[in-house]
Each structure stands twice: as C-alpha cells, then as structure tokens.
C-alpha cells in the first residue's frame, strides 16, 4: 500500500528535533539585539563627531556651544542629508555637550532616562571603542 502522508510518530520526532535545535540556539541570540543597538549608537556618534562636527569646526574654528547644540548643524544641508539629525537606536536625539572644546555625545540608552545600568545604561562617545 502506498503512503502519502507522515505518521504521527514521524511528525513528533521532527518537532522534538526542532525544539532541541531552538533550545541550543536561542540562548546565544538572546540579548544580541540590544547589544547591536548599543554598537550602532557608537557608530552613529562617531560618525556625527568625525563628520558633521569636524566639518563645522574646520569652517568655524570651534565646535558649536552646548547651547547651540547639534540643532545648529541641521539649519542647512551642509552637515546632514536633508538637514535631519540622526537619532539613536531608540528614536531619541543625542545629547551634545561642549566643555571648553571637549565634545561629548550621549545617548540615554534603552530606558530613555539618565543613568541606568547594563542594557539601560547611558552610552557616551568617550566610552565607545
């Protein structure tokens, strides 16, 4: 007699094998999404610092003041495409601080609040690798 379908035992074996594979793979993937977002924020901050801020400094001999902030760089298309400021991985604007020529960019991280620990910790340009 010719069979055109799988038996219940065969289906159960396949499901168990897939479950075992998922159990081995999932722990290594968990948390990688947030780590990738944090890495992307560092790349974005370095790009802002080495791109737009450096171009501004070359043209004006100084970085924008803290009060002027990054918004100064969005007044025309010279520094950012379409005059739009990039946002961090959580959709928030970067915090810009100019302390006597020492520039710091900060993202408040996943919790969008100042401070925090682990995945919720603030991300600073000076701490990016």
Distance of CA 18 to the CA centre of its chain: 32
Cβ within 8 Å of residue 78, ≥6 positions away: 55
What pLDDT sits at residue 84? Answer: 81
d(CA 90, CA 40): 11
Residue 30 CB neighbours (<10 A): 9
The pTM of the full predicted model, rounded to 2 decimals, is 0.72
Q: What angle do CA 65, 66, 72 make, to 5 degrees?
A: 65
d(CA 50, CA 32): 27
What pLDDT sits at residue 29? Answer: 66
> Going residue by residue through the chain (129 aa), what tens digit of pLDDT does each one get?
666 777 888 888 888 888 888 887 776 666 677 888 889 999 999 999 998 999 999 999 999 999 998 888 887 667 877 778 889 999 999 999 999 989 999 999 989 989 888 778 999 999 998
Report the CATH fold assignment for 40-127: Glycoprotein, Type 4 Pilin (3.30.700)
């Amino acid at each position: 007699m010719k069979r055109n379908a799988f038996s219940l035992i065969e289906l159960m074996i396949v499901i168990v094998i897939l479950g075992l594979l998922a159990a081995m793979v999932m722990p290594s993937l968990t948390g990688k999404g947030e780590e990738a977002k944090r890495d992307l924020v560092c790349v974005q901050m370095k790009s802002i610092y080495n791109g737009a801020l450096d171009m501004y400094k070359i043209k004006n001999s100084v970085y924008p003041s803290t009060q002027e902030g990054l918004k100064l760089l969005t007044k025309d298309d010279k520094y950012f495409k379409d005059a739009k400021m990039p946002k961090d991985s959580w959709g928030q604007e970067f915090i810009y601080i100019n302390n006597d020529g020492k520039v710091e960019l900060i993202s408040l991280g996943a919790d969008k609040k100042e401070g925090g620990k682990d995945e919720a910790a603030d991300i600073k340009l000076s701490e990016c690798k």
